[in-house]
A and B are shown apart, each in its own frame.
Chain A
C-alpha cells in the first residue's frame, strides 16, 4: 500500500519560508488529492490545503495569503511553502492522501520556528 514521507528542515527562522516535501511511494499521484495538515504541540489538527496532479488547489482561508502547495507528478511528490513564518507556525506537519477521507498519512515532521 502507498506510503508517504515528509522531508525538510526542522528549524526555520521567523519571517522566513517553511518548505517541506512529501514523497509518495507509488504512482497514485494522478488519482487522488494530496493534502498538508499540521498540529501545534499539544493542540488539535489544522488543515492547510490540497493539490491535485492537474494543479488544481485550494487552501485554508486563514493561511491562504501565505501558502503555496505544488505538485511534481513526474517525481511523485508534492510540496508545501509557507511564507513569513512566526512561532505560531511551530507544529508537526503531516502530508496525507484523501480518497473519501484522509486514509493515508505521513509520519509527520516537527518544524520549529525560532531564531
Chain B
C-alpha cells in the first residue's frame, strides 16, 4: 500500500491530453511537501520528468506539466505521442516519518 495513491492505468489516443492524479494526505502533499514526477520507459531506470510541482529539467518537452492543489497533485500530458507510453510515478515526502521519501504506486500510460 503506497502512501501516495495513483490510478493503476490511464490511456489516450495520439494527440489527446491525459492526466495522472497523485493523492496524498495532510502529512505529505497537504503539508506543503514538494511533489516530483518520474517517467520509466520499459526496461529502463526512472527519469526525472517534473520537479517541485511544475518545473521541467532540460530536455523534457513542454507537453508535460504538473500542478498541485490541497492534498493532491497531477501530471498532464498534452499532444500524446507513442513514445510517451511508460510508467509514471509521483514522489513526495512524509512529515510523519521525518520527511521520508514516499512514492505513488505508479500509473501505466497506454497510447492507443
Q: Which residues of A line the B interface, CB within 8 A?
A: 35, 44-47, 58, 60-61, 94, 100-103, 105-108
Contact = CB atoms under 8 A, between A and B. Distances in A.
Contacts of B24: none
A47 B100 contact: yes
Contacts, number: 51
A47 B101 contact: yes
Contacts of A107: 44-45
B97 interface: yes
A28 B105 CA distance: 31
A101 B51 contact: yes
B46 A45 contact: yes
Contacts of A45: 38, 46, 89, 91, 103, 106
B103 A44 contact: yes
Nearest to B96: A61
Interface of B: 2, 34, 36, 38, 44-48, 51-52, 57, 89, 91, 97-98, 100-106
A107 B101 CA distance: 20
Contact of B51 (A44, A47, A58, A100): A100
Contacts of B100: 47, 58, 60-61
Given A45-B106, A46-B103, A58-B98, A103 B45 contact: no
B89 A100 contact: no
A108 B41 CA distance: 13
B103 A108 contact: no
Given A44-B103, A44-B105, A100-B51, A106 B45 contact: yes
Contacts of B2: 44
Contacts of A101: 34, 36, 48, 51-52, 91
Contacts of B105: 44
13 contacts: A35-B101, A44-B104, A45-B89, A46-B103, A47-B102, A94-B45, A100-B34, A100-B52, A101-B34, A101-B48, A105-B46, A107-B45, A108-B45
